[in-house]
Structure formats: C-alpha cells, structure tokens
Structure 1
Amino acid sequence: MSPADYMNAQQLAFFQQRLLQDKQDLLAHIDQLKASLQWGDNQGDEADKAMREEELRLLLRQIDRESRLLPKIDAALIRIRKGEYGYCQESGDPIGLPRLLLRPTAELSIDVKMTHEMKEAAWRK
C-alpha cells in the first residue's frame, strides 16, 4: 500500500464502524456484568461468603477495566472526525494497519509506545 492510500475514506469508515460496534458491545457487556452483581443473602458458612465476596470483587474489577476503555473509544472516534486517526500523537508517524486492527484505540506508534514502556520500567527501578 502506498503512503497516499493510508487512512483513506474506506479505512476510516471501517475503523469508525468497528469502534462504534466495540463500544456497543462493551456497553452491553458492562450492563450484563452489572446485572450479575446480585448481592443475594448472606447465607452459608464463612467459606461461601468469602467465595461470593471474591466473585463480586472480580466482577467490579472487570466492570472498572471495561469502563475505562469507553473514553478511549470516544477519543478514537473524535480523532477520526478530525482526520488525525491512525497517526501517532507524539511523532506524527503512521501507527500502521496491523497495530490498529489489534488495538483500534491506539494513539502511539509501536516505536513510541516501546520507548514509553522502557522509560516507565526504568523509573520503577
């Protein structure tokens, strides 16, 4: 593919539809998870109660993680409308179709992302 063909109207439409579908699926899944948060009664022995508390903790953690993805999807949709989608926000280089297919909310090219991760690892030491 030539550089001129990158992020053409057809590709932008594909990613916009994919992001909208991902958002719809995510909202439905979050609603499903919230519906399963039935506290029920605290019957049973201590092991049963502890197991139910752990299940609830895991459900809440999953809802939190998935909820944090919604603003990223919205930001990607805004970038599509602005004509900035598919390009690294830091370097301006193309992110690349393979990376966007795996992670349609990607904001950074793989090189910039790897540099960020190496810096984060160095700061943790």
Structure 2
Amino acid sequence: MAVAMHDDIDILAKAKRSLPDDYTPSDDEEYMSEKQLNYFRVLLLEWKRSILQASEGTLQNLQEGPLREPDLNDRASSETDWGIELRTRDRQRKLTAKIDAAMRRIDEGEYGWCDMTGEPIGINRLIARPIATMTVEAQAAHERREKISRDD
C-alpha cells in the first residue's frame, strides 16, 4: 500500500514538473480565479495523462504472456509482484475517476470549495492534493466519524 501511495505521489510530482514554471497559485490572489482554475485544470489533465501512460506499461507487460518461472519460489515472487502491480493500477483507475470528478467541479464552478462546509479548501491543500473535496478540518471530522461507525 505504501508503494502505491508513493507511486501516486511520484506521478503527481511528475505532472507538476511538466507545468509551465511561470505561474503557481498563491493566497495573495482572488480565490479560485480563472487563472487558478486553469492551473488546476492543466495539472489534473497532466496527472491523468501520466497515470494512463504508466498503466500502458502494465498492460503491455500483461499481454507479453504468462509467468513461466521454473523455480516455485521465483514464480511465487513474480505472482506477488503482479498482484501488487494490478492493485496499484486499480487504485490509479479509481484515482482517474476522482480526477474526472474534479474536472467536472471546475466546469461547474464548485472546485476549491468544501463539500461539507462550503468553505474554501485552500490553495496549499489543493496543490498538495488537487482532488481534495473537503478542508483539512472537515476531512479529519469525516474520518473520525467513519472510524467511530466502523468501531461500532
């Protein structure tokens, strides 16, 4: 699981590096101005493109054929690696759906605003997690409620 999250962070970092260096949103500007929305739109599109590009390699490897390791330990290790890779790709598939949802929120004028409170999510949080739908405080409260309901 840590590997999958690390991969997501690497892919997002790669997407951020591909953006033009001439602009980064800041708190000094009007919140969710057209310039900021365009920045996040390009970032989300680039992030999705990077995810899809990474998944193409997995698909190509899967099509090359089944595992044919002569040693049982090597075969088990390879199958474990494939399982991890497939779980990572499934996680990224779900992430692309969240990216699409964020793009819809941009188009509908709802991006950057907390689903729970209606408050601004914050530029720094959105730069760190462009698909965020809640403020840090609302997210923490949501997770506490989830944990309590699971414990019951």
Q: Give secondary structure in 2 for the equivalent of 1:5.
A: coil
CA RMSD of aligned residues (A): 1.6
Aligned residues: 124
Q: Compared with structure 1, are the counterparts of its residues 85 and 46 closer, same or farther at alpha carbon in structure 2 (3 Å cutoff)?
A: same
Measured after TM superposition, the shift of residue 41 of structure 1 is 4.6
Contact 2:114-2:134 at 8 Å conserved across structures: yes
Return the alpha-carbon distance in structure 2 between the equivalents of residues 56 and 41 of structure 1: 10
Q: Look up the match of 2:108.
A: 82
Q: Compared with structure 1, are the counterparts of its residues 12 and 41 closer, same or farther at alpha carbon in structure 2 (3 Å cutoff)?
A: closer
**Long gaps (5+) in structure 2:** 1-26
Q: Verify: 1:57 aligned to 2:83, yes or no.
A: yes
Q: Look up the match of 1:118.
A: 144
Q: Percent identity?
A: 35
Measured after TM superposition, the shift of residue 115 of structure 1 is 0.3
What residue identity is the alignment partner of 2:133?
Answer: E
Contact 2:114-2:120 at 8 Å conserved across structures: yes
Q: Look up the match of 2:36.
A: 11
Contact 2:48-2:96 at 8 Å conserved across structures: yes
TM-score (norm 2): 0.76
Q: Compared with structure 1, are the counterparts of its residues 8 and 41 closer, same or farther at alpha carbon in structure 2 (3 Å cutoff)?
A: closer
Contact 1:34-1:63 at 8 Å conserved across structures: no
What residue identity is the alignment partner of 1:121?
Answer: K
Return the alpha-carbon distance in structure 2 between the equivalents of residues 106 and 36 of structure 1: 32
1:32 to 37, 54, 57: 57
Contact 2:113-2:134 at 8 Å conserved across structures: yes
In terms of Rg, which structure is larger?
1
What residue identity is the alignment partner of 1:35?
Answer: Q
Structure 1, residues 22-63: CA drift from partner, whole Å, max 9, x if none?
111111011112223344452412111111111111111111
Q: Look up the match of 1:99.
A: 125
Measured after TM superposition, the shift of residue 15 of structure 1 is 0.4
Deviates more, 1:64-73 or 1:115-124: 115-124
